[in-house]
Amino acid sequence: MIKARWFYEEHGSRVGPVAEEEIKGLLRSGKIGYGALVWREGAPDWVSVEKSELKGELSATPPPLARERISDMWIWLVALTPILFLVAEPRTFWACITIAWLMTIFFCAMDIINIRKAGHKSPSIWWTFFFPFVLGYLFIRSQRLKKNQAPLLVWIAIQVLPVFVPQD
């Protein structure tokens, strides 16, 4: 009997085909795990690993931590970095922008590590390399972890605040 060929999703891309033994090895090694989408020849649609016939391979892997157990410390630091723009003087403005950008990348990287250690899929670090796209990172994170949009709203509010506050 011919074993089914499998495909799996990785970072938004379809990977495969791989043999059944190979995909089981990926599950055992932790390269893919809970929440990963898989598809096999003959299946009508993509399903998460835990709803597929591969779910038995997950027994050696603990499930992801509950979303409410994931610390929001790093994401709040990301949300507050634009405060540097408010305290910047004209002669230090570009230095403050650079520092805020580097801090944002660092805080997002730490947040991504935190999310992945908890066993969840994190947004891509690429969202942080262009400062306005941090909006995308904040939005995707809240959607994937099913958390509120408060950090996103705070980040936007701090960005827009100078428009409404008179400058001396």
pTM above 0.85, yes or no: no
How much is the pLDDT for 55? 82
- Across 19-33, b (16+ Cβ under 10 Å) vs e yields eeeebeebbeeeebb
How much is the pLDDT for 38? 92
- Which of 12-26, 48-62, 63-77 bottoms out in mean pLDDT, i.e. has the lowest? 48-62
pLDDT value at 2 more than 60: no
How much is the pLDDT for 105? 95
How much is the pLDDT for 78? 96
- Across 147-156, b (16+ Cβ under 10 Å) vs e yields eeeebbebbe
- The beta-carbon contacts of 147-150 under 8 Å, at least 24 apart in sequence, are 147/67, 147/72, 150/79
How much is the pLDDT for 1? 47
The model's pLDDT over 13-33, given as tens digits with 9 standing for 90+, comes to: 899 899 988 988 888 877 888
The model's pLDDT over 37-50, given as tens digits with 9 standing for 90+, comes to: 899 988 889 998 88
How much is the pLDDT for 168? 61
How much is the pLDDT for 167? 66
The model's pLDDT over 99-139, given as tens digits with 9 standing for 90+, comes to: 999 999 999 999 999 998 998 888 889 988 887 899 999 99
Greatest Cα pair distance, the chain, in angstroms, is 79
Short-list 122, 134, 37, 123, CA closest to 85: 134
Averaged confidence pLDDT in the chain? 88
The CA radius of gyration of the chain, in Å to the nearest whole number, is 21
| pLDDT > 70: percent of the chain | 96
